[in-house]
Structure 1
Amino acid sequence: MIKVLLAADGRGWVDGIEVPSEDSTLAGTRAAALRQIARAAAEQRRSLRVEATDPDGAVWLLVVHPSGRVQDATEVRELVADPDGETTPAEYRERVVAVVRAVEAGTEHAAMRLARFLETGIAGAYGAGHPYVWRALELRAHTNLVCGLPGSACELYLEAARGWAGIGSAAYWGAAQRAYACWHRVREAERSVWLGGQLAEVLRLGGDRAHPALRGVMGRMDDLQGGLVA
């Protein structure tokens, strides 16, 4: 949690370090502090939580995203209540519905383009490592699968699984399982071998629970590599 303290004379501090500001007004210093935090969020490629205290003692809980977007306390509570990004942000729900409808209508390639657009938009607004991004990535993986591209779908699910593992989310296992299922549908032997190596790395992140799947991957990899050599 980053702490911002604002004083009545227009000065401000971010985690105890004074904020340089050409505009010495309270509004100017507040804006400078948020810009500084947004730069840090962009460098770290993740959203940052902020506790800002005004001169009158009022405390504001905020989330500052890499794009510079600032969310208020209500949205912060929503993130805390939904750490795995299971609820689609209100501003993106229509786009998600559009992807689903395109799949249902049999226009899978349009769905794939819409899903890519959705993921890019969410990553720009919330940062590349946000749970909403991994959910969008999984949706894009599904559109690739229904388009007959299991290899691409596997890669995307693997990326999502790595992301979930990176934030310690239980959603990791679901993404890893879907990657495993897609991998079994890849027919090109050389690509299967490469994807199998990636899948094995991801499954090793799952601990004991992933050992049966990992053994299955290694066994199939041996068979695939034997076929390539033969």
Structure 2
Amino acid sequence: MTITLASDGRGWIDGQELSGHGTVDEARTAALRTVAARAQERGRSVRVAATDPDGRTWRLVVHPNGRAEEEETVREAEDPDAVAVPAHLRPRTDAVGAAVAGGHELDGARLARELESDMERDYGTGHPYVWRARELTAHATMAIGMPGAAAELYMEAARGWHTLNSPAAYREAAQRAYACWCRVEETADLVWGGELLVDLLRLRGEEYHGALRDVLSRIDEAQALV
């Protein structure tokens, strides 16, 4: 649904003008009350795009009990690991994927890094969006042909997920880090990346004992060839 407010206190819901308008605040309250009533009728929460007189638009979720929350807050609660790409970010993530798939890996990596930087600025360094953007940068970096650097980026993301206590996201990032690391050919880089991977896997203790043993074995094999 849409709510539009004018500076003279008038308000509209889905293009239908509210009656008995007064101030902007009164119109806003009346509009949200009407939307809450619709939510009660439907038996579910209603998503709303509300535009203030200054042109700012707010994405809200209005619940049947009348409580209104910003859509971003609701989405984060429903998807704490940011598995689903939010609609407002999808064009940018799609652009990265299209660049990589189209053979423009460097452009894809640049776009991914820009997205990551914007997520850090807008949401803070530890936000799930940042770690998903970091993984996207890792994906593009791997496509360029830099498996060692890609592995380190995935490991950074895995550490972030560990800090957020998101075991599924941690496991996925760690697995991708391992897959990239296995593609490293230079012995020194293989050993360096392997030691970083060992430190990462030890964060989860016995849960990754088998993978840890495999990484240590590969490191020993690589060092024996030097």
**Could you tell me the TM-score, scaled by structure 2's length?**
0.67
* Overall identity of the aligned pairs, in %: 50
Q: 2:72 aligns with which of 72, 75, 78?
A: 75
User: Aligned ranges for residues 94-109 of structure 1 at < 5 Å?
Assistant: 94-109=91-106
Q: Does 1:183 align with 2:181?
A: yes
* 1:186-197 → structure 2 map (5 Å cutoff): 186-197=184-195
* Distance in 1 separating the partners of 2:215 and 2:201: 9
Secondary structure of 2:90's aligned partner: helix
What is the rounded CA distance, in whole Å, between the counterparts of 2:192 and 2:71 in structure 1? Answer: 44
Give runs of aligned pairs for residues 118-133 of structure 1, distance below 5 A. 118-133=115-130
State the Cα deviation string for residues 151-208 of structure 1 (Å, max 9, x = none). 1100000000000001110200010011011111001101111111000010112233
Task: Return the alpha-carbon distance in structure 1 between the equivalents of residues 124 and 223 of structure 2.
Answer: 39
Name the CA distance, whole Å, in 2 between partners of 1:150 and 1:216. Answer: 18
User: Aligned-pair distance for 1:93?
Assistant: 1.5
1:187 and 1:74 map into 2 onto residues whose CA distance is 46
SS in 1 for 2:88: helix
How many Å separate the matches in 1 of 2:103 and 2:192?
30
- 8 Å Cα contact 1:173-1:206 kept in structure 2: no
Distance 2:223 2:101 in 1: 38
Structure 1-normalised TM-score?
0.66
The structure showing larger relative contact order (alpha-carbon pairs under 8 Å, at least 6 residues apart) is 1
Instruction: Specify the alignment match of 1:200 in structure 2.
Output: 198
Residue 144 of structure 1 deviates from its aligned partner by 0.6
**Distance in 2 of aligned mates of 1:172 and 1:153:** 16
Amino acid at match of 2:222: L
After TM superposition, give the deviation of residue 73 of structure 1 in Å: 3.4
1:1-80 matches, within 5 Å, as 73-80=70-77
Equivalent position of 2:217 in the other structure: 219
Alignment length (residue pairs):
158
Equivalent in 156, 164, 176 of residue 159 of structure 1:
156
Q: Which amino acid aligns with 1:129?
A: G
Structure-2 residue corresponding to 1:171: 169
Counterpart of 1:142 (choices 115, 118, 139) is 139
On the 8 A contact 1:108/1:147 being kept in 2, the answer is: yes
* Distance across 2 between alignment mates of 1:181 and 1:75: 33
Could you tell me which runs of 5 or more consecutive residues in structure 1 were left unpaired when the two chains were aligned. Answer: 1-71
* Aligned position for 1:93: 90
Query: What SS does the aligned partner of 2:225 have?
Result: helix
CA–CA distance in 2 between the matches of 1:116 and 1:213?
Answer: 30
**Cα RMSD for the two superposed structures:** 1.5
Which residue matches 1:13? none
Could you give the per-residue CA deviations for residues 21-55 of structure 1, whole angstroms, max 9, x where no partner exists? xxxxxxxxxxxxxxxxxxxxxxxxxxxxxxxxxxx
